[in-house]
Amino acid sequence: MELYKGFDARRYLIERYPTTLFEEDQTKIMSSWDILCYHKFYQTFNKEWDNTNTILLEIGGGPCIYALISAAPYVAEIYHTDYVESCCNEVLMWKNADPDAYNWSPYFRHVVSTLEGQVSLDAVAKRESQLRRILKDPLTCDVRNEPIVPNMSKPVDIICANFSLETTLPTMTDFEHVMKVLFDMLNPKGFLLLLCSLGCSWYLIKEAKFPCIYLRLENIENAAKKAGFVVRTVESKDKALSGRNIYNDTTGHAFVVVQKPEQNQQEPEIHNSRV
Ligand SMILES: C[S@@+](CC[C@H](N)C(=O)[O-])C[C@H]1O[C@@H](n2cnc3c(N)ncnc32)[C@H](O)[C@@H]1O
């Protein structure tokens, strides 16, 4: 697992999140589908919480901020976390508008102008500064240990994990266990948003190969239900429709929205009777 100590954050960005992404055929690009899922989630669900005090936590966010762009108008604070220092540094550089930071501007234009329909350049620039303002300095996390985020003691309202559980946990049992831990980190009525690779057993960054838990859609839903969540929406996209196939053996992506019930439901009493 210390494989991740050699994770090349900048290479990952260049390969997976090219700044030319939105010049390509959008129907074929998996990450444009991922971004659309996030857009639809915040547009559809934002009435279910109070924007002024909602806390969003991203687990294993890598060097990325794409999943936070559509969240920014609807939450008060965002905590980004990752296990690898260079990933956290990439996000910190972006937050600090460092000249060497990765250029996420095309992603902002896509979300704010194309998806939300706000065409002025001013609206795009405002979103960038809004996200910089509410995004805290990145924190370290480790999904293999508890607490997962040692420097985060308060419960949160939304947790998102994008390709960071199936790619870092060794087994399905660990995946199911982490769902329970994430359940406990949420406030009642809190949301867990999972973007996962389906049918994937490996992915590449340059020549480095990383393993992945082979997931079917029902594995994710069942793990969420076992942890106590209520499933709100499930979407998936088949990768056969995508032109990109060189970086992994993924067959598709899933976006799963699950919610912690308002009150922790009591475990039904189990009666063992011997006749
Ligand atoms: C496939 S990448 C996903 C990155 C990003 N979330 C995205 O959507 O592209 C997996 C991420 O998990 C992080 N990671 C590796 N080991 C981890 C661990 N033990 N706990 C949490 N995250 C870990 C890696 O640093 C990497 O950023």
The 3 state secondary structure assigned to the chain is: CHHHHHCCHHHHHHHHCCCCHHHCCHHHCHHHHHHHHHHHHHHHHHHHCCCCCCEEEEECCCCCCHHHCCCHHHCCEEEEEECCHHHHHHHHHHHCCCCCCCCCHHHHHHHHHHHCCCCCHHHHHHHHHHHHHHECCCEECCCCCCCCCCCCCCCEEEEEEECCCCCCCCCHHHHHHHHHHHHHHEEEEEEEEEEEEECCCEEEECCEEEECCCCCHHHHHHHHHHHCCEEEEEEEEEHHHCCCCCCECCCEEEEEEEECCCCCCCCCCCCCCCC
Pocket test for ligand 1, best of 11, 13, 32, 83 (most atoms within 8 A of CB): 83
Ligand 1 neighbours (beta carbon < 6 A): 4, 7, 16, 60-62, 64, 82-84, 87, 141-144, 162-164, 167-168
Q: Whose CA is nearest to atom 25 of ligand 1?
A: 84
Domain spanning 2-259, CATH class? alpha beta
Interval 208-230: pLDDT, tens? 899 999 999 999 999 999 999 99
Q: Given this model, what pLDDT does residue 39 score?
A: 98
Which atom of ligand 1 is closest in space to residue 16's alpha carbon?
9
Least confident range from 52-56, 152-156, 186-190, 261-265: namely 261-265
Interval 26-48: pLDDT, tens? 766 789 999 999 999 999 999 99
* d(CA 29, ligand 1 centre) in Å: 20
Pocket test for ligand 1, best of 2, 3, 4, 201 (most atoms within 8 A of CB): 4
pTM value > 0.75 = yes
* d(CA 119, ligand 1 centre) in Å: 33
The domain ranges of the chain are 2-259
Q: Residue 168 pLDDT more than 50?
A: yes
Please give the mean pLDDT across all residues of the chain. 92
Q: Given this model, what pLDDT does residue 28 score?
A: 64
* d(CA 274, ligand 1 centre) in Å: 48
